[in-house]
Structure 1
């Protein structure tokens, strides 16, 4: 394709390129589009593909012109990429397009390029490591969570208190002076913000089977702005009250939780799990500090489109409402940029040092996991493949190899 290419602006990963397509090339594209239309369109009085070319061009002039334009821009983009040897990060944007009869077609391509990382320095860094000691308080908190998981809800005759599970029939008058009506039954745990404070206060004054009707003021920070600060008449019937009863922390509880002979054995296992978790957190912090040092010594830009795409992924994962997407994006943009830089550094080191996960690495990892689970490696492989998790495991292996390589070449100091 005969086109003129003139680079205009270059900043970081952004490129602006002026493209000019000669009149002859434009006409060829229009002729090609016209022939395609002439061979396929149906016009009254003519068999398919037999309508006169002049009639087809006249009737479908705008469609032919649009098809020619799209073909020219598409082919020109491909030629720009090939001639300039560009590795693009996202789809291009066309600006300042001028498509006038009898004149060259001109437009400006705005491109984002994939970053090229030199990483001239990846060693000689000093990284601090913060190894956390598991405290008796943390152990007690985890044991309490286990007790809570095994707790049961038992009916009580006393008035409810925070933490109790109640079933209430709640009716609310829409306007002052109206009767609240019959209402609906709701289960809720008191003290967890499932009902507004005024409603919870009424519930905790009632005994099982009792009905209380009184005015309640809605909080000034209530999510529905139209109801903030309003006072409404509510009618509450307390149907029943249940109180959580957690099992005693003893040997019997340890046996119920798992294969533990005694409470001491359970405590040892829980402490071991907490220590392993603390080690993983410390490892992750060291890895991120390593990446931050490398990025600081080898700065590079990241494509905005990648950042926006990752932010959209975060928003969808967290189910952020559309009206909250903008502030969410502002909050998570730095995190997204950091994640992209991390991935690019890992990819660059893995490629340069030949550290990417191999098929043998994957087989060994799956065999190791299968042995721990007591199942056949082939069976586990099939399960992981079906769940689409093989790429995730490959990535984990690659990251482990990259960070092992980096840790050999940098100093890690434990914080005192």
Structure 2
């Protein structure tokens, strides 16, 4: 401890140990206790051959000067899965056919994304985009200064009564009307309440979809004709359907394996996954408890799946080879039209090579399982 502290009159790290001991007795003692605990628990974990699921917790610490240090370690360990039954399951592959109607719907969604909004002088209609100043009467009946909103009418962004008032008002005009809040409004205290609403329509824009022709296909991407765009959309949708069918098959397998080989999962791992998703989605503190409660079953299922994959991979010596990882990186580089070496270096820097390795290992585990469990097609 003397090498870390600063004392007046001494260079950093040069204070006499006796003086440091006298000035910082509790800090020195606490550090000594932590060092002994860390050394002891590493030795104990190694001796017992435990695979920890989370950092151990120290309980009943007895640290009396001059006496042996005593404490309990409470450890949550990774479960040992027997997985005695991995064959004889009933699996059904359901793959959706890519029809002309589905392709047309996807093309229409692409058209919607490429639509242009142009100002109009008419009153707004359903599907139009409006910019409005909206104010709702206070409990005392006064109307505050309006707040600006941009809405697409008919999309459920405003309650029906307010949308009706907007569509009755010409651009540049102001209108007031008593509006009744719907009976299924999220805020129960506002259900069925009528309030005076003032709306100022600043502008109205109408959507114009591009013509469905070869020029549209060229605008979307590297397609010479509309038929080429349709063909690519059909291929992509077919690939998506195959991936969905494969994911459903894996889900069936995991559910049946868990039913016939029940096991507990480490709560620490589940909560770690929940917290990771909360961070990813930016869940506000006020909503974290609700999110955790709703997401916990999904996270628990994911942990069960991971444990099953890890156990089978370890037992059957299934693992992604270096050449398979390289091949996957080359595929990614080809899709990005980038140099494989640069993509590899980028993934390595981001720490994502491990993700690719695990992804390939998981694919190989499910391939191994599907070889043992025949699949029927619905």
Task: Note the alpha carbon deviations across 1:261-318, whole angstroms, 9 max, x for none.
Answer: 5444433332222111111100111122223333334333221100110011122222
Corresponding residue number in structure 2 for 1:271:
234
1:48 aligned to which of 15, 30, 51: 15
Corresponding residue number in structure 2 for 1:333:
296
SS at match of 1:112: coil
| CA distance in structure 1 between the partners assigned to 2:35 and 2:222 by the alignment | 69
> Greater shift after overlay, 303-312 or 232-241?
232-241
Corresponding residue number in structure 1 for 2:60:
96
Corresponding residue number in structure 1 for 2:207:
244
| CA distance in structure 2 between the partners assigned to 1:38 and 1:139 by the alignment | 71
Corresponding residue number in structure 2 for 1:210:
173
Corresponding residue number in structure 2 for 1:117:
81
Number of residues paired by the alignment? 375
| CA distance in structure 2 between the partners assigned to 1:381 and 1:219 by the alignment | 55
CA distance change for structure 1 residues 107 and 371 in 2, over 3 Å: closer, same or farther? closer
In the TM superposition, residue 73 of structure 1 has moved relative to its aligned partner by 2.8
SS at match of 1:299: coil
> Greater shift after overlay, 314-323 or 258-267?
258-267
In the TM superposition, residue 91 of structure 1 has moved relative to its aligned partner by 0.9
Matches within 5 A, 1:210-229: 210-216=173-179
Answer yes or no: is the 8 Å Cα contact 2:123–2:168 preserved in 1. yes
CA distance change for structure 1 residues 38 and 255 in 2, over 3 Å: closer, same or farther? closer
In the TM superposition, residue 104 of structure 1 has moved relative to its aligned partner by 5.6
In the TM superposition, residue 82 of structure 1 has moved relative to its aligned partner by 2.7
Answer yes or no: is the 8 Å Cα contact 1:176–1:233 preserved in 2. no
Corresponding residue number in structure 2 for 1:391:
354
In the TM superposition, residue 336 of structure 1 has moved relative to its aligned partner by 1.2
| CA distance in structure 2 between the partners assigned to 1:260 and 1:394 by the alignment | 34
In the TM superposition, residue 219 of structure 1 has moved relative to its aligned partner by 5.8
> Greater shift after overlay, 94-103 or 403-412?
94-103
Task: Note the alpha carbon deviations across 1:349-380, whole angstroms, 9 max, x for none.
Answer: 33333332222112222334444555433243
| CA distance in structure 2 between the partners assigned to 1:50 and 1:92 by the alignment | 32
| CA distance in structure 2 between the partners assigned to 1:391 and 1:64 by the alignment | 40
Answer yes or no: is the 8 Å Cα contact 1:217–1:231 preserved in 2. yes
CA distance change for structure 1 residues 86 and 197 in 2, over 3 Å: closer, same or farther? same
Corresponding residue number in structure 2 for 1:406:
369
Q: Are residues 1:156 and 2:123 paired?
A: no
Answer yes or no: is the 8 Å Cα contact 1:40–1:49 preserved in 2. no
Corresponding residue number in structure 2 for 1:306:
269
Answer yes or no: is the 8 Å Cα contact 2:93–2:245 preserved in 1. yes
**TM-score after normalising by structure 2:** 0.84
Bigger radius of gyration:
1
In the TM superposition, residue 216 of structure 1 has moved relative to its aligned partner by 4.2
> Greater shift after overlay, 393-402 or 191-200?
191-200
CA distance change for structure 1 residues 160 and 107 in 2, over 3 Å: closer, same or farther? same
| CA distance in structure 1 between the partners assigned to 2:110 and 2:3 by the alignment | 75
SS at match of 2:204: strand
In the TM superposition, residue 167 of structure 1 has moved relative to its aligned partner by 1.5
**TM-score after normalising by structure 1:** 0.77
Corresponding residue number in structure 1 for 2:243:
280
CA distance change for structure 1 residues 42 and 392 in 2, over 3 Å: closer, same or farther? closer
Task: Note the alpha carbon deviations across 1:231-258, whole angstroms, 9 max, x for none.
Answer: 5544322122111121343444344434
Gaps of 5+ in 2: none
Q: Are residues 1:128 and 2:95 paired?
A: no
1:141 aligned to which of 105, 110, 114: 105
| CA distance in structure 1 between the partners assigned to 2:45 and 2:17 by the alignment | 39
Answer yes or no: is the 8 Å Cα contact 1:39–1:49 preserved in 2. no
| CA distance in structure 2 between the partners assigned to 1:337 and 1:234 by the alignment | 47
SS at match of 1:82: helix
